[in-house]
Structure 1
């Protein structure tokens, strides 16, 4: 592409996004948006209080009974909310019906914590313990779900106070078990709530959600149309042969060599079998475990490897699954041993694909929330995974974005899931503003009228 064409293409793209941003800003009446943003600023002290209580009292996936009770009590003090508890165990759905008919917009926050011991020196540091997979573990909110809940409660408080001015319905979803992951034989919290009808009665037109992150300056927002977060599969391959003595390897048929060669054989699946040029073509196949034997002079009769597939397209995900099965069984057969291949996709961890039109229509709302367009940017796709995509698997448009809250100024902070993860709490003000501004934008969206 020559320079002139490159500049023209850039300006065309900029004007396209700018048009979406302008329409998003003007979609909600200016006076209503101004009210909502001012109210969002006003609830910040309460949001901090909610967040610190939840942070100090974390609970693991499908164990969020205390958290759910605390949320229900907070919602009970907000006017106009119809609250239903016990969805998928501990999930909560609160419905706010505006004074006038209109679209139905859902907002979601996940509630569960992780089996990680927090190492931050905070006055509200978690010292909680729980049972996980039959073992006692420390528990903490090192993925930021405490802030997700607090910000959604803040948005519920703001929007419930504006109910008489709303044309449409808002559904607040407090979801369990985002962190359950594949491999345990349980559905993700999002999928479990979907199966129990959380998007019905009233029928939801769009689902919005945000995730806190430390990988950009505090108070900024990053978004992405289309594939944003990867699917995740966990593979486990068990090899079986015959063991023997290290002095006479010809007298045995150990599967150790087959396992080692399989690890190497999986490494070129991405480079030679997957098309990187398709939309969402990025894929990663990672082997994270190889176990076999326990003594230097004993050839083991078993070997095991395990790892993950992460993909931004279902096409490449399926090809990678097939290639792992084919290569593992083929290599095992060439060594005369057996391979038992299991691939667990979980239930609710598909590719998270943001609706393009809905995402771009919110750019202006994000700018209003963050305090200017300069604080909003498009992000590259991530190979991390989230069960928010389960809502999109129903055919309902979804939009998910990242709220940045690094406590280290312009520098990145410790990543999510680190025992040192913490946030700049002032960023939650922007998060509440983003949820309320995005909701008002979607309630006024011509695209959703009459869905």
Structure 2
């Protein structure tokens, strides 16, 4: 539909300016007050109905079509990361120790661009578009609190779509797949409690460092020997803390890591296997332990029909040659999964790498990408919404 492309060109400079402004003022989870105000001001300027302070800082806009019909939800996340920006850009972060290192600034600008496009076409729409600007995707997760506060009601949402600007794909490409798209990113914490003492007399101690090393190695057998090789599982130990001096064996060591799974039965199984291993190793060494497990977001599962539907819409935006089936699911987490649990949904990756041999690495202090890519995001979300409401 040329209307979408033409309107995107009309508003592209505004989208770029919004992205770069938001980039300069990054905010952490549930504290996105400045970002929320920018969103509210833009939506109100367009005459779009606005709901404020949903799940603390979330914003919901509602575009009501001229004709009755279903309701499609489009979502963008808006929080930043605690990273000191090193990227050489004119719109560098002005907040010490914070930056948009994942593309959420672009997600907000892209969805605001979709709001501009769809608002001009509302007299042609059969139904409604809910624009959901969600806080706290990176850490605590704002999707579930927004759902609990009724974002899927009044009017009732029939389907949902979301996207992530993706630094591992070429500009202009869109990748998605039906079924498992992103993993459940759970967290475990293990405290090994031994008996400290002098490093020169280890026989009088119960060394938690040695025991922790055994546990780290044993955890890798979960993936290689305890779960099916065709059922993807990741068990990563990302943090070990223990000891203060080279010649002192400490009393305790703390180990923290993440579990990534797709199947719910596997998700429930792996923590119990971890605790069994920890219990066995610590008991054999005369130590004790404390085990904590935090279930974060569920796995993101794309609906078969909505994925197929989205692909056909996306071809109108980027061309059939640039719409791909994602080769394999991503082990990263995404709390859009909560929307996908409630209504048929599809989530997609939109490429932002302008050099095929060098990906744009997310969560990196040098993360940067061309702001023009917000236009593809805006067109993609708009086209999907328009086609669905037909």
TM, length-normalised to structure 1: 0.84
Q: Give the corresponding residue for 1:178.
A: 137
Contact 1:104/1:171 (8 A) holds in 2 = yes
Q: 1:49 aligns with which of 12, 17, 31?
A: 17
1:385 counterpart SS class: coil
Contact 1:37/1:437 (8 A) holds in 2 = no
Contact 2:43/2:49 (8 A) holds in 1 = no
1:70 counterpart SS class: helix
**Using the alignment, how far apart are the partners of 2:267 and 2:40 within structure 1?**
39
CA deviation string 1:125-168 (max 9, x = no partner): 11213xxxxxxxx1111111111001100101111111111001
How much does 1:309 deviate? 0.4
CA deviation string 1:240-274 (max 9, x = no partner): 12122233322222323321111111011012111
How much does 1:192 deviate? 1.2
1:215 counterpart SS class: strand
1:197 counterpart SS class: coil
**Using the alignment, how far apart are the partners of 2:200 and 2:16 within structure 1?**
66
How much does 1:293 deviate? 2.0
Q: 2:324 aligns with which of 365, 372, 377?
A: 377
1:166 aligns with 2:125: yes
Q: 2:193 aligns with which of 240, 251, 261?
A: 240
CA deviation string 1:44-71 (max 9, x = no partner): 1111111111111111111110110111
Q: 2:282 aligns with which of 316, 332, 343?
A: 332
1:116 counterpart SS class: coil
Q: Give the corresponding residue for 1:23.
A: none
Q: Give the corresponding residue for 1:283.
A: 233
**Using the alignment, how far apart are the partners of 1:249 and 1:120 within structure 2?**
48
Q: Give the corresponding residue for 1:140.
A: 99
**Using the alignment, how far apart are the partners of 1:256 and 1:122 within structure 2?**
44
Contact 2:360/2:368 (8 A) holds in 1 = yes
Q: Give the corresponding residue for 1:352.
A: 300
How much does 1:304 deviate? 1.7
How much does 1:298 deviate? 2.1
Contact 2:185/2:298 (8 A) holds in 1 = yes
With 36-45 and 63-72 compared, the bigger mean Cα shift is at 36-45
Q: Give the corresponding residue for 1:113.
A: 80
Contact 1:214/1:412 (8 A) holds in 2 = no
1:33-432 equivalences under 5 Å are 33-79=1-47, 81-129=48-96, 138-180=97-139, 187-277=140-230, 281-346=231-296, 349-370=297-318, 372-379=319-326, 380-393=328-341, 395-408=342-355, 410-432=356-378
**Using the alignment, how far apart are the partners of 2:295 and 2:63 within structure 1?**
35
**Using the alignment, how far apart are the partners of 1:289 and 1:56 within structure 2?**
31
Contact 2:188/2:294 (8 A) holds in 1 = yes
Contact 2:352/2:360 (8 A) holds in 1 = no
How much does 1:124 deviate? 1.1
1:342 counterpart SS class: strand
1:60 counterpart SS class: coil
Q: 2:381 aligns with which of 411, 423, 435?
A: 435
How much does 1:426 deviate? 2.3
Q: Structure 1: which 5+ runs fail to align? A: 1-32, 130-137, 181-186, 445-451
CA deviation string 1:200-253 (max 9, x = no partner): 111111111110012122111111111001111111100112122233322222
**Using the alignment, how far apart are the partners of 2:217 and 2:338 within structure 1?**
33
How much does 1:299 deviate? 2.0
Contact 2:20/2:371 (8 A) holds in 1 = no
Contact 1:405/1:425 (8 A) holds in 2 = no
What is the total number of aligned residue pairs between the two structures?
A: 389
Q: CA RMSD in A?
A: 1.4
**Using the alignment, how far apart are the partners of 1:295 and 1:123 within structure 2?**
45
How much does 1:331 deviate? 1.1
**Using the alignment, how far apart are the partners of 2:253 and 2:270 within structure 1?**
22
The 4+ residue runs of structure 1 with deviation greater than 6 A are: none
**Using the alignment, how far apart are the partners of 1:143 and 1:104 within structure 2?**
29
**Using the alignment, how far apart are the partners of 1:214 and 1:267 within structure 2?**
29
